[in-house]
Structures are given as C-alpha cells and as structure tokens.
C-alpha cells in the first residue's frame, strides 16, 4: 500500500493542476513553480502547466489575472500583443539530468546519454524545458546522438520528473528545482556550467483582469524579500529586480 501511495503521488506531479482557495483570483504558472508559489501566497487559485499551454489559454480568453512563465518567450509575446502588462523577471534556474536511484543504464555523465539503447525523456519543443534542453544539447554538440535515444517528449517538466522517478525512463532533463521534491527517488547528473542556457522566469499581470489590486499585490509578494527568500530556498536563482 505504501508503494502504491508513492506511485500515485509521483503520477500527480505529472498532471497540470489547479490549487488554492482564492475564489476568482487566478494565477497561471509554469509547472516548475508548483511547490514554491503556494508557499509565497496560498490564497490564489493556481493552474500549473506548460508555459506555452497557459499562454495559449490566455490568448483564447481564459479568465486569469496573473501569468508566470518559465521563459521570457511567451510572456514577451503576450506583452507585445497587449495581453499582459510589462513582465518582470523574478527568478532563474538551471538544468540537470536525473536518473532513477537504481540507475539501471549506468549513466554517470551527460555524455553517457549518447549510448545506444538509453531511454531519454525531454520536454516538447514548444515548452520552455524542451527549448532549453535543445539549446543545451546544441551547445554540447551532442544533439543528434541524444535525440536518437529520446523515447518521449513531454508537455511539462513534472511529466518528465514522474517518468524518471517511476523508472519508465533511464534519464530526463529537468530544472534543478524539480529534482528536489523527488530526491529520494532520483540521482542527479550535473551539467557543465559553461553549457547551461540562460533560464529566466517572468511574471505579468493579465491586461484584461478586473482584479488589478490583487494582481499587483501578488506580484509584490513574489518579488518581496520574503518571496525571494522562499524562491532561493526552493533552489531558484535571484536576478536583480529592476
């Protein structure tokens, strides 16, 4: 029964989620913010998923007040089209490779992912984790060899984490912050610092929100001293606020 409970918990990580008790005040946020945002402010109704999926929902008129993305790409496109106010960069992150604790493929460096038969999981090209991973592989010059071993391309980082933690893949590319909640289930393989892509998170008020006071308050909480401390404790980097 204990093993079954762990299985359900890990699978839950892979699913887009809506949490909180904030009534109608809604925050759309990248899946990698699932653990830390409710610690900063537990009152909003959160919807966590891939940044690209959430941006598309905003374009389609979804009722949302604040948008937080794991890449400037989608926040800036929404800003350019007048759908959100000017985004604020509030956090940074790094990539890491995770493998199951038992490490059945015997992987020890990122270059081992080139070996024939290794099952690798990455993010879909349209989601930030997938874009960052491809950028990293290009920098290392191992794109073709690793992509040949990709068995699944997921729509958000939590799905990658769950598949590796459950032993359904030999390795996956995730954010450092997402490896922490499953530290007992996975082992990290570090990536050369010189190859790390620049990962920046941006936060913005949705232009159509009727709850501007609440939206501004939420953004202030995230960028406050307490908010930044909680982000740092969760493993995020802290950029200078402008």
**CATH number, domain at 36?**
3.40.190.10
User: Using CA atoms, how far apart are residues 46 and 17, in angstroms rounded to an integer?
Assistant: 7
Q: Identify whether 239 is part of a domain.
A: no
List, for residues 17-57, the tens digit of each pLDDT value.
444 444 589 999 999 999 999 999 999 999 999 999 999 99
Residue 7's pLDDT is what?
42
User: Using CA atoms, how far apart are residues 91 and 98, in angstroms rounded to an integer?
Assistant: 22
Average per-residue pLDDT in the chain? 91
The residue among 48, 21, 25 whose CA lies nearest residue 36 is 48
Q: Identify whether 242 is part of a domain.
A: no
Residue 24's pLDDT is what?
86
Record the tokens describing residue 235, joined without a space.
């493993």
Model confidence band, residue 133 (pLDDT cutoffs 50, 70, 90): very high
Indicate the range of 15-24, 59-68, 107-116, 200-209 predicted with least confidence.
15-24
Question: If you average pLDDT over residues 208-217, what whole number do you get?
Answer: 96
Domain span at 163: 94-195
List, for residues 181-192, the tens digit of each pLDDT value.
999 999 999 999
Within 13 Å and on the Cβ side, how many CA atoms surround 58? 34
Same domain, yes or no, for 205 and 164?
no
- 229 Cβ partners below 8 Å, 6+ apart? none
Q: Identify whether 130 is part of a domain.
A: yes
Same domain, yes or no, for 79 and 130?
no
Task: Please check whether residue 199 is in contact with residue 132, taking contact to mean a CB–CB distance below 8 angstroms.
Answer: yes
Same domain, yes or no, for 7 and 84?
yes
For every residue of 195-213, DSSP letters joined together read: G---EEEEEEEBTT-S-HH
Q: What is the tally of structural domains in the chain?
A: 2
Residue 242's pLDDT is what?
74
- 173 Cβ partners below 8 Å, 6+ apart? 95, 96, 97, 120, 121, 122, 123, 129, 132, 133, 136, 160
Q: Identify whether 241 is part of a domain.
A: no
User: Using CA atoms, how far apart are residues 190 and 170, in angstroms rounded to an integer?
Assistant: 15
Q: Identify whether 240 is part of a domain.
A: no
Could you list the beta-strand ranges (E) of the chain: 17-19, 26-30, 45-49, 66-69, 88-93, 95-100, 120-123, 150-154, 171-175, 186-189, 199-205
Q: Identify whether 27 is part of a domain.
A: yes
The residue among 181, 173, 158, 171 whose CA lies nearest residue 99 is 171
Task: Please check whether residue 185 is in contact with residue 165, taking contact to mean a CB–CB distance below 8 angstroms.
Answer: yes
Same domain, yes or no, for 104 and 54?
no
User: Using CA atoms, how far apart are residues 71 and 52, in angstroms rounded to an integer?
Assistant: 9
pLDDT > 60? residue 6 = no
């Amino acid at each position: 029964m204990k093993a079954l409970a762990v299985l359900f918990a890990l699978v839950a990580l892979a699913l887009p989620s809506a949490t909180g008790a904030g009534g109608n005040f809604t925050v759309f946020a990248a899946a990698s913010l699932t653990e830390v945002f409710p610690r900063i402010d537990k009152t909003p109704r959160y919807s966590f998923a891939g940044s690209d999926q959430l941006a598309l929902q905003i374009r389609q008129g979804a009722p949302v007040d604040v948008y937080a993305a794991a890449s400037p790409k989608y926040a800036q496109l929404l800003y350019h089209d007048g759908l959100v106010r000017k985004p604020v960069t509030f956090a940074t992150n790094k990539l890491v490779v995770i493998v199951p604790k038992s490490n059945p493929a015997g992987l020890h460096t990122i270059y081992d992912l080139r070996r024939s038969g290794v099952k690798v999981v990455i993010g879909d090209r349209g989601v930030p984790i997938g874009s960052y991973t491809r950028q990293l592989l290009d920098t290392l010059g191992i794109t073709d060899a690793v992509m040949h071993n990709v068995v699944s391309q997921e729509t958000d980082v939590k799905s990658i984490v769950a598949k590796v933690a459950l032993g359904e893949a030999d390795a996956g590319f995730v954010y450092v912050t997402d490896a922490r909640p499953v530290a007992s289930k996975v082992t990290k393989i570090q990536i050369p610092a010189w190859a790390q892509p620049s990962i920046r998170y941006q936060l913005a008020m949705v232009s159509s929100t009727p709850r501007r006071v609440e939206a501004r308050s939420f953004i202030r909480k995230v960028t406050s001293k307490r908010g930044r401390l909680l982000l740092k404790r969760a493993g995020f980097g802290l950029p200078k606020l402008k």
